[in-house]
A = this chain, B = another copy of it.
């Protein structure tokens, strides 16, 4: 055990810190979950890409640095420490890309990954449907074979598609075998949202941003080259993504460490009138962010030794999502009767609180996650 960083890791951190301090936009960009803001964020992603900070863990050939998982964590720590903007490319680089690396063809990787990393092509996910939320296997959207044109014709509705109104492409599951039920007979498609038959309707979220979208597909043609993995095997293909979605990459400790530090600073600014129980909540949030950091180093060390992570990922998702809620709740308590303001200096906390409230819901509700922990980590009967 050696809890100091290697010289390489320290050098990597120093380089990242220097570049971020020099380049993180000031003042902060507008929300990337609005049409105006999204454009600014694409520029920022382009700047990250040009400096090879967009996808540090990817191969150099695709714009990365072949960084280790540990270096990736260090980058994340520095990114949020520097107040770096949200990553509007997140669904592509963290959810789709791992699947492409694992199951995509060389042609798909070469064609898709570089534009994804540079934000030239932005991606949104198309999992949920009106009747397929927690129960993803309830997917009804279908794809019919079009041999004449060498592809498929997709129809149906996807919903809660984050930034779907601004993104270029969508990845998701469609039912290719109408006879098959539940998890069977699904195929993983990559869909061009500019294609004929696609209608996207923005949906306003709690915080007022049009960060959601409903995507309606009517007989939309998708060529065979945009099928990811084997036909009818979409569930197995998607699991790689939801695995990583619940796992390491979606919300690394760096953002919570940065938020906990901001919370501690907010406490100091309000220390004179802060309630003692709120002080304790600040301390606990800070400790929990640190606990998440060390639990992650523990896991990453195992992974770098060739180990694997499985259903434990559900513990991680429960932990960060509920920490994020407590952390912002505590900030609002510090702000007291001024917490409700959404146009003041501290309005970011109310915005962050509303964002945090989505954590226990998306990527598998925490009720589902606790079932997974009980059944697959502890081995309790499914019933």
Chain A positions within 8 Å of B, measured between CB atoms, are 276-277, 279-280
Tell me, in angstroms, the Cα distance from A284 to B182 when the chains sit together: 48
Tell me, in angstroms, the Cα distance from A279 to B275 when the chains sit together: 12
Which residues on the B side are within 8 Å of A276 (C-beta)?
276-277, 279-280
> What 4 pairs between A and B have smallest CB-CB spacing?
A276-B276, A277-B280, A277-B277, A276-B277
Cβ distance A270 to chain B, nearest Cβ, rounded Å: 16
Dominant secondary structure of chain A at its interface with chain B = helix
Tell me, in angstroms, the Cα distance from A131 to B277 when the chains sit together: 44
Which residues on the B side are within 8 Å of A280 (C-beta)?
276-277
Tell me, in angstroms, the Cα distance from A279 to B280 when the chains sit together: 12
Cβ distance A359 to chain B, nearest Cβ, rounded Å: 25
Residue ID in chain B nearest A284 by CB atoms: B277
Tell me, in angstroms, the Cα distance from A215 to B276 when the chains sit together: 52
Tell me, in angstroms, the Cα distance from A277 to B284 when the chains sit together: 12
Which residues on the B side are within 8 Å of A279 (C-beta)?
276
Tell me, in angstroms, the Cα distance from A279 to B277 when the chains sit together: 9
Tell me, in angstroms, the Cα distance from A280 to B279 when the chains sit together: 12
Tell me, in angstroms, the Cα distance from A112 to B256 when the chains sit together: 66
Cβ distance A224 to chain B, nearest Cβ, rounded Å: 44
Tell me, in angstroms, the Cα distance from A6 to B234 when the chains sit together: 74
Tell me, in angstroms, the Cα distance from A276 to B279 when the chains sit together: 9
Q: List 6 A-B residue pairs with CB atoms under 8 Å apart, sorted by A's residue number.
A: A276-B276, A276-B277, A276-B279, A276-B280, A277-B277, A277-B280
Tell me, in angstroms, the Cα distance from A279 to B276 when the chains sit together: 9
Which residues on the B side are within 8 Å of A277 (C-beta)?
276-277, 280
Residue ID in chain B nearest A276 by CB atoms: B276
Cβ distance A272 to chain B, nearest Cβ, rounded Å: 15
Residue ID in chain B nearest A279 by CB atoms: B276
Residue ID in chain B nearest A277 by CB atoms: B280
Residue ID in chain B nearest A280 by CB atoms: B277
Cβ distance A7 to chain B, nearest Cβ, rounded Å: 43
Residue ID in chain B nearest A281 by CB atoms: B277
Cβ distance A65 to chain B, nearest Cβ, rounded Å: 45
Tell me, in angstroms, the Cα distance from A276 to B282 when the chains sit together: 14
Tell me, in angstroms, the Cα distance from A247 to B136 when the chains sit together: 42
